[in-house]
Chain A
Amino acid sequence: MIVHNDKHSLAAWLLCLLAFAVVCSATTSAAAQAADTVRIGSKNFTEQEILAELVAQLIERHTDLRVERTFGLGGTGVCHAALVAGELDIYVEYTGTALLNVLKHEVRTNADDVYQIVAKAYRERFELVWLPPMGFNNTYAITVRAGHADEHGWQTIGDLADVAGQLSAGFTAEFMERPDGYPGLRRAYGFDFGQTADLDPGLMYQALADGQVDVICAFATDGRIAAYKLKVLHDDRSFFPPYDAAPVIRHALLHDHPEIRDVLAVLAGTIDDRTMRRLNHTVDELKSTPAKVARDWIESRGADSPHRTSGRADVPIDGTVSIWAMVATRRAELWQKVIEHLALTALAMVIAVLIGVPTGILIHRHRAAAPLVLSATEIMQTIPSLAMLAFLFAVYGILGATPAVTALVLYALLPIVVNTFTGLKELSPEIIEAADGVGMSGGQRLWMVELPLALPIIVAGIRTSTVWTVGIATLSTYIGAGGLGDFISRGLARNDPRLTLLGAVPAAVMAVILSLAIRLVERHLRQA
């Protein structure tokens, strides 16, 4: 197991940026929204998607409102900021998370107290309403392999104190930084684990079962705890607060559409820990989809009228179907994601070329500015992609294509600027003198001689950028911009390699095809 210590500082930085996003967005006026559309968000793990689907499908069935789904967002910070900014209308949050991470209060252990505090503070500070809790407590659960625990007689977290130094822990990035995560846990229990690794929430159970790590911060409602023969250690110092799940909704929306409160009332107190674990298990291990699981749950409640809308075009998936069958059944969705991905890439590239080529020309003409501009674009390149996305989300305060395309443009600039500059700089001085000597103006020399001759090199830069952009665009999913990254992150969240491949393979193919196409253009230009 490779342990990335430097990832911690990155995670810290990311969280700072997300916190900044919260502040920024809180000061931004709520964006105007289409009156008849409800935008529902979720974080990037299975349970969140199931709950978001439940909310979405209930609204679709029982109201005339249109539902827009923005699932798989990169963490609490993004969801909360989007809700405050009016970019989302509803998502499901956990009381303990709101108390500690959003409101920054002290830890409390009484579930009712926490709910009251959180509901009041959200109403007053953010004009957000907490609907009644759904009935389960998805607490963090410090979890080990059952066999390992039996061997050493571990029952409680406190039992690990003496051996923690020899254990390696796999925690989610969020847990690594939250006050009710590892930092608080170390203080409460007074020990450090020997090694820690940041793991994707979808992967940590398998990593623990396989023995790659010894301890994880499981979610109590995850079906994989039982399925993988894992053991949750008792929180003997009552460190973790309650994490009761409940929909959080913008007050303005509830005011305009009070019927939503009635429609979602069916969720109050009806999903207990066991039910939630079963629903998660159905998606994570039996390879169903959140949409189908939600639909089955709603229909099993019986008291429902027939479908009014079909919900998302999700097709039930059998855990054993091959990737080819998956492609076949999800063709429409796959096609849509490919188009989204292509659109993100194309838009970013057009803007990058429109900015990058003139910039390259300018620094060629004004050579003194070249080192400054080139190092600026180089520095841009070194910013980790997720940090860039989080930062731009903070700057814009909105989700979706705008911050995503901005990030892609910033990454795409370097090869275009460098190649334009180099292509012009390396033209033969004799040709330039001839252009001047026959009486061309600066502009005529540029259009008639310099750009045509530098074009193959400029296009080579555009090709490099395009390939990068297709790759980086897969991360746009974390700020809700869609594209093939949606499949990749869902695949990671559900530990389903088929879904990951469904996103990764088309992205790779797209990069190769675009690269070949641009190479053909280049060859044509070089011959001409």
Chain B
Amino acid sequence: MIRLTDISKSFDGGRSHAVRDLSLEVQDGETLVLLGSSGCGKTTTLKMVNRLIEPTSGAVTVDGRCVTQHDILPLRRSIGYVFQGIGLFPHMTIEQNVAVVPKLLGWPSERRTARAQEMLSLVELDPVVYGRRRPGDLSGGEQQRVGVARALAADPSYLLMDEPFGALDAITRDVLQQELLRIKRELGKTIVFVTHDIFEALTLADRIAVMHEGRLEQVGSRREILAKPASEFVRSLFAKPRAQLELLAEQ
């Protein structure tokens, strides 16, 4: 379980706040989507989980232990991370990219290779075709599949995903969303997923956490958020999907 307790992050010595007094729990096995517009603090919140950003105040615990008590490198290696800009290493082959965390963990090379091939198959990339290529040879969608495979390679319990499909075209995005749901069913990971896309949130989330100007507006299941918006902001945010749903219901 990941628990955020009263975390705040301010920059410029307190003049600007990215996140204010946010408390949140991510249950084991669920997909929690952090939803909000750009600059609402959702990516900052995500990065505080694996200490890419340190909170100004408050505490983050993973499996009941405060993250500041973890050694930072083992902590990061034990949490899969899929980056917004994909962030594959351009000088490494696809196989090396996927095997990077196992390598940092000191796995022997045959085991790394086997694992990389397994992961590529999982994200539906043929290891024989793609293993020796470099990121530059792949399309955006293929690169992001590799990004997911890399995040999963060391079999982490948690997966942090920072707008991973934001730069992809709508069709590829739909396909990858379905892939993610399948992978989640197969592997049963706990996922924190950041997006500004309401429909993506509704597709993937077990629970949605709506953020606005650094604060948490509401956390709840899709049904709760659609049926009982906690604030005017949440209500207006979901006005369009609600209208579509009502339309469907009438039909």
Q: Interface residues, chain A, CB within 8 Å of chain B?
A: 428, 430-431, 433-441, 444, 448-449, 452-453, 528
Interface: B158 (CB within 8 A) = no
Whether A438 touches B150, Cβ cut-off 8 Å, given contacts A431-B87, A449-B89, is yes
Chain B residues whose C-beta falls within 8 Å of the C-beta of A431 in the assembled complex:
87, 89-90
Chain B positions within 8 Å of A440 at CB level: 73, 104
Residue in A closest to B91 when the chains form the complex, CB atoms: A452
Option from A437, A448, A449, A452 in Cβ contact (under 8 Å) with B50: A437
Contact of B89 among A434, A436, A441, A528 (CB under 8 A): A434
* Contact assessment for A433 and B52 in the assembled complex, using a CB-CB cutoff below 8 Å: yes
Q: Which chain A residue has the least Cβ–Cβ distance from B104?
A: A439
A431 to B76, CA, bound (A): 16
Stretch from B54-62, B77-85, B187-195, B224-232 forming part of the interface with A: B77-85
Beta-carbon contact of B91 and A528 below 8 Å: yes
Q: How far is the CB of B54 from chain A (nearest CB, A)?
A: 13
Closest chain A residue, CB of each to CB of B84: A430
Main secondary structure on B side of the interface with A: mixed
State which size class the interface on B falls in: 20 to 34
A149 vs B135: C-alpha distance in the bound complex, in angstroms?
Answer: 81
**Closest CB of chain A to B144's CB: distance in Å?**
13
Cα of A528 to Cα of B101 in the assembled complex, Å: 22
Mark contacts of B101-122 with chain A using CB atoms, 8 A cut-off: 1 yes-contact digit, 0 otherwise.
Answer: 1001000000000000000000
Task: Report yes or no: A437 in contact with B77, Cβ–Cβ below 8 A.
Answer: no
Inter-subunit contact B81/A438 (CB<8 Å): yes
Q: How far is the CA of A439 from the CA of B88 in the complex (A)?
A: 14
Contacts of B81 in A (CB 8 A): 437-438
What CA separation (Å) do A219 and B89 show in the bound complex? Answer: 69
Q: Which residue of B is nearest A525, CB measured?
A: B91
* Given A449-B89, A453-B91; A436-B52 close (CB under 8 Å): yes
* A436 nearest CB neighbor, chain B only: B52
Chain B residues within 8 Å of A444, by CB: 104
Closest 6 CB pairs of A and B: A434-B87, A439-B76, A439-B77, A430-B85, A437-B81, A452-B91
> In the docked arrangement, what's the CA distance between A410 and B77, Å?
43
Can you list 10 contacts pairing A with B, beta carbon distance less than 8 Å?
A433-B87, A436-B52, A437-B52, A437-B76, A438-B76, A438-B104, A438-B150, A439-B76, A439-B77, A448-B89
Q: A-facing mask of B47-70, CB < 8 A → 1, else 0?
A: 000101000000000000000000
Judged by a CB distance under 8 angstroms, whether B74 is at the interface is yes
Q: In the complex where A431-B89, A452-B91, A453-B90 touch, is A437 in contact with B83 (Cβ < 8 A)?
A: yes
User: Quick check: is B100 within 8 A (CB to CB) of the other chain?
Assistant: yes
Chain B proximity of A435: nearest CB distance (Å): 7
Q: In the complex the two chains form, what is the Cα distance from A452 to B88 in whole Å?
A: 14
Whole-angstrom CA separation of A434 from B73 in the bound complex? 13
In this complex, what residue of B is CB-closest to A451?
A: B91
Residue from B73, B75, B100 in contact with A441 in the complex, judged by beta carbons closer than 8 Å: B73
Residues of chain A within 8 A (CB-CB) of B86 are 430
Q: Are A434 and B88 in contact, CB atoms less than 8 angstroms apart?
A: yes
**A444 nearest CB neighbor, chain B only:** B104
A435 to B85, CA, bound (A): 13
What is the chain B residue whose CB lies nearest that of A456?
B91
When chains A and B are docked, how far (Å) is the Cα of A434 from the Cα of B146? 13
Residues of A within 8 A of B84 (CB): 430
A453 CB → nearest B CB, Å: 6
Q: A428, A440, A453 — which one has the most chain B CB atoms within 10 A of its CB?
A: A440
B73 partner residues in chain A, CB cutoff 8 A = 439-441
A438's partner among B72, B74, B77, B85 (CB-CB below 8 A) is B77
Nearest residue in B to A440 (C-beta to C-beta)?
Answer: B104
Q: How far apart sit A437 and B150, CA to CA, in the bound complex (Å)?
A: 11
Q: Which residues from chain B contact A449 at a C-beta distance below 8 Å?
A: 89, 91
C-alpha spacing A453/B85, complex, angstroms: 17
What's the Cα separation between A513 and B31 when bound, in Å?
60
Question: What 8 new A-B contacts, CB under 8 Å, besides A435-B89, A438-B81?
Answer: A430-B87, A434-B85, A434-B89, A437-B76, A437-B81, A438-B100, A439-B76, A452-B91
* Complex-state Cα separation, A452 to B91, whole angstroms: 7
- Bound form: Cα–Cα A449–B85 in Å: 16
A431-B89, A449-B89 known; A439 and B74 CB under 8 Å? yes
Residues of A within 8 A of B89 (CB): 431, 434-435, 448-449, 453
CA distance A431 to B136 in the complex (A): 14
Distance between Cα atoms of A441 and B72 in the complex (Å): 9
Give B140 Cβ to nearest chain A Cβ, in Å.
Answer: 14
Assess whether A434 is in contact with B83, with CB atoms less than 8 Å apart.
Answer: yes
**CB of A458 to closest CB in B, whole Å:** 13
Q: In the complex, which residues of chain A have a beta carbon less than 8 angstroms from the beta carbon of B72? A: 439
Q: Min CB distance, B121 to chain A, in Å?
A: 21
**Interface contact A439-B91, CB-CB below 8 Å:** no
Residue among A431, A433, A438, A441 with max Cβ neighbours from chain B (10 Å): A438
Q: What are the residues of chain A within 8 A of B76 when measuring CB–CB? A: 436-439
Query: Chain A contacts of B104 at CB under 8 A?
Result: 438-440, 444
Residue ID in chain A nearest B153 by CB atoms = A438
Alpha-carbon distance A130/B86, docked complex (angstroms): 80
A5 to chain B, nearest CB (A): 53
Determine how close the nearest CB of chain A comes to the CB of B77; give it in whole angstroms: 4
Closest A residue to B81 using CB positions:
A437
* Smallest CB gap from B51: residue in A: A436
| A433, B100: Cα distance in complex, Å | 14
Cα(A444)–Cα(B72), bound, Å: 14
In the complex, the chain B residue whose C-beta lies closest to that of A453 is: B91
CA distance A430 to B104 in the complex (A): 19
- Say how far B238's CB is from chain A's closest CB, in angstroms: 31
Residue of B nearest to A455 (CB): B91
Q: How far is the CB of B49 from chain A (nearest CB, A)?
A: 11
A17 to B90, CA, bound (A): 52
Closest residue of B by beta carbon distance from A428 = B85
Identify the closest chain A residue to B88 (Cβ).
Answer: A434
A-side contacts of B85, CB under 8 Å: 428, 430, 434
Give the docked Cα–Cα distance between A117 and B72 (Å): 79
Contact at A437–B87, with CB atoms within 8 Å? yes
Residues of A within 8 A of B50 (CB): 437
* Distance (whole angstroms) from the CB of B85 to the closest CB of chain A: 4
Considering the complex, give the chain A residue whose CB is closest to the CB of B74. A439
Cα of A428 to Cα of B91 in the assembled complex, Å: 13
Q: Which of B87, B89, B101 has the most CB of A within 10 A?
A: B87
Residues of B within 8 A of A528 (CB): 91
Chain A nearest CB: distance from B135 CB in Å? 10
| B83 x A430 contact (CB < 8 A) | yes
Contact call A438/B52, Cβ cutoff below 8 A: no
Q: Which residue of A lies closest to B100 (CB)?
A: A438
Bound CA span A436–B83, Å: 11
Whole-angstrom distance from the CB of B173 to the nearest CB of chain A? Answer: 20
Q: How close is A528's CB to chain B, nearest CB, in angstroms?
A: 7
Residues of B within 8 A of A437 (CB): 50, 52, 76, 81, 83, 87
